[in-house]
Amino acid sequence: MSSRIRVAVTSLNQTPLDWSANLAHMQGALAQAVEQGAQLVVMPEMSVTGYGCEDAFLMEGVAQTALEQALRLAIPEDVAVVAGLPVEIKHRLYNGAAVLLRGRDGDNRIVAIYLKQNLAKNGIHYENRWFNPWPKGEVVTIEIGGGEVPVGDVVCNLSGIRLGFEICEDAWIADRPGVSLFERGVDIIINPSASHFAIGKQAIRRQFVIEGSRAFGAAYLYANLNGCESGRAIFDGGNMVASAGKLIARGPRLFYRPFSVTLADIDLWENRSVHRISSQVAAEYRPDSARAVIQWLAPEGEVDSKLPPSQRWQQSPCLDNEEAVRAIALGLHDWMRKTATAGFTLSLSGGADSALVACEAAIMVRLALAEYLSVPGAGLPPALVRFCRDQAMGPESLDSMARYITQQLLTCIYQQSANSSETTLNAAKSLAQGLGAKFVHWAIDTPIRFYTQQVEQTVGRRLDWNNPGDDISLQNIQARSRAPGVWMMANVEHKLLLTTGNLSESAVGYMTQDGDTAGVLAPVIGVRKTRIRQLLRWLNTSGQGIDTGIDRYVIASLAGVVNQQPTAELRPRAQTDEEDLMPFPVLDQIILENLILRRQPKHTYRALRRHFPEIPPKTLADHLFRYYQLFNRNQWKRDRSAPGFHIELDSLDPKTFARFPLLNGGFRHELDQLRQLLRDEQHGGSSSK
């Protein structure tokens, strides 16, 4: 047997329970891998069903259908495939990775199934709701197709090459299965993953892949999903192969094709030598769980041994900005594609949030075009073909083609009230025209007057801006009067209505329910306000990296948005968002302390003192009290918000990350502790409670 084997890790853009499309993507990736000589092909976690099935996992027949679909793959002789699927044992579900081969009779057979031992229950994940964790070290057999198949903590021996497994979360814990796999002398560790995107997360994955290969004396194969699979989480691909502690292959991230394939040649001896010189005491002998004979000859030729360069944008000094913008754009693309709609409608206010949403739609068009046009004969992106003129297009026409498609795909509507300014109108119009979007300008004073007069007649008095209760009502009716028309426009054009809320303002409920929250999808709801402003300045000056055609896409027409303070423009007098709330850097730091670090109010106050020494302590305390007052009061708004993408490490989406009760005690006890701390400080004392 040769000491070399060619492996392929695939990344797939799947959709929950879209059986035919999912199988087609798997088959396409498998065919491309085999055509290039791959002998072992690894697909991501839950590649058969899609990862985001949620409670559909519990429906009758889903696990059985997934098994039948996996067995339908057209697998050539002497090729092994690893596919992710749910597995039912004694009426309970487990998260599995099946090893499939072509049998002598031409039908597929499953050699073994590894079951995930550590279920993700942090961040956006609630795997324990659907799956059971498999006990470490246990292996049982189940009947599949009339034969007995070992399942559990398996090591699969294929003609002397020993395969072990970690599934996604297994690799993120301290006592990861790789430790025991080293003791069991595996040659290759396979990690099928569904690891969602968050800014900066790829660096962590890279670290555990490389270190896993070095420490466990095995090649490490990491295969991740790509795309907005089920509506909220965005997966960013980024497949990797490491051997002998070195990264030797990597795949694209945040791409638009239905799948990608990354190949590498593995030198088995290079890793086996680590076991020979290891000082670690060998564990008690355990026989391999599964054995099969497969003819694995040395691969013909050699995959380029040099690590291929990553996509150019991943070399950016502003990588956080690059990947955040690309993740949102890919999410928009998949929503449009998977809902079969004709694009997006947006109430473009001239402010920061709606401006970023509009930019994302235009950037999505350019990125998808650039990716497809860079491959000879690939044609145009399937989701954008409907918008295209009937003529051949090449990379040299990327800009004109992108503007042509954006004109049809994105409708921006500026809805003017008596409190709107020429500044925001000009900013909105300039941006829409600069992006190539369709721009509409209409007035909403008539419906505002109608509703105001109706209420005034009912209550028997004029509403007064100087009355705090009236002030909020008069602001809200302007926001709500914008919803019916923009909804109707979206319906007529068969487009998705996008809403523009961000993470910071969502935390304190600075949004009008059924007004600016109206929409199907909130693309930037997972982005803090400080980052939104940072992204806009960056797009306006440096520009988004495009891997083909033009190097940067600088959006000069953002200048009118960037050069103004964020304002809702709902009062007849001057109004800014930060005056209504607090400085956004302070608000975002409070959110970080509250959601990620889970600090109590008094400890958050101390953290604020360290981060903002220039702000008087009393002012910081006032900001903190206001935050908690608004945070608890407005949980119901977050519960009703349109779904959005998880972009930051934290999130306020109550369905996937931050679950708080609608009715609660308002942290009264904890805020009383903060008040006591402030009294102690005022009198020169201290409190350690």
Catalytic residues: 45, 116, 168
Cβ neighbourhood burial of 468 (10 Å; 0-12, 13-18, 19+):
exposed
Spatial distance between the Cα atoms of 396 and 365, rounded to a whole number of angstroms: 15
Q: What phi and psi, each to the nearest 5 degrees, are found at residue 620?
A: -60, -40
- Pairing outcome for strands 234-236 and 438-443: unpaired
With vertex at residue 391, the alpha carbon angle to CA 387 and CA 393, rounded to the nearest 5 degrees, is 85
Residues flagged as binding site for deamido-NAD(+):
476, 505, 637
- DSSP H or E run through 532: helix 529-541
Q: How far is CA 131 from CA 88, 95, 232, 435, 627, in A?
A: 10, 6, 20, 45, 37
Q: Which amino acid is at 507?
A: A
Exposed/middle/buried for residue 679 (C-beta within 10 Å: 0-12, 13-18, 19+): exposed
The two structure tokens encoding residue 297: 């000859």
Alpha-carbon 527 to chain mean position? 12
Does residue 415 sit in helix, strand or coil?
Answer: strand
Residues 196 and 646 sit within 8 Å (Cβ to Cβ)? yes
What is the chain's length?
A: 689
Contact, 498 vs 522, CB < 8 A?
A: yes
- State the pairing for strand pair 496-498/344-347: parallel
Strand 108-115 to 92-102 pairing = antiparallel
Structure-block tokens of residue 640 = 């009703």
CB 43 within 8 A of CB 81: yes
Match 């942090």 to its residue by tokens: 122
Residue stretches of the annotated binding site for L-glutamine:
195, 201
- End-to-end CA, the chain: 67
Spatial strand order of the sheet with 156-158 comes to 246-250, 240-243, 219-224, 188-193, 161-165, 156-158, 290-292
From the annotation, which residues make up the binding site? Answer: 195, 201, 476, 500, 505, 637
Binding residues for ATP: 500
Is residue 12 a contact partner of residue 223, using CB atoms and an 8 Å limit? no
* Residue where the block lists tokens 């075009």: 369
Tokens of 685: 């004392």
- Nearest-Å Rg of the Cα atoms of the chain is 28
CA torsion sign for 307, 313, 317, 321 is negative
Alpha-carbon span 612 to 622, nearest angstrom = 14
Q: Which of 45, 41, 43 is nearest to 7 (CA)?
A: 41
Question: DSSP string covering 598-639, please?
Answer: ---HHHHHHHHHHH-TTS-HHHHHHHHHHHHHHHHHTHHHHH
Strand, coil or helix: what is 414? Answer: strand
Q: What is the spatial distance between Cα 563 and Cα 328, in angstroms, rounded to a whole number?
A: 24
Enter the tokens of residue 576: 């800014």
Whole-Å CA distances, 114 to 16, 135, 501: 21, 11, 42
C-alpha distances (whole Å) from 203 to each of 92, 218, 545, 636, 681 are: 35, 20, 20, 36, 42
As a whole number of angstroms, the distance between CA 665 and CA 264 comes to 56
- Check if the beta carbon of residue 141 is closer than 8 Å to that of residue 150: yes
Contact between residue 4 and residue 266 where contact means Cβ atoms under 8 Å apart: yes
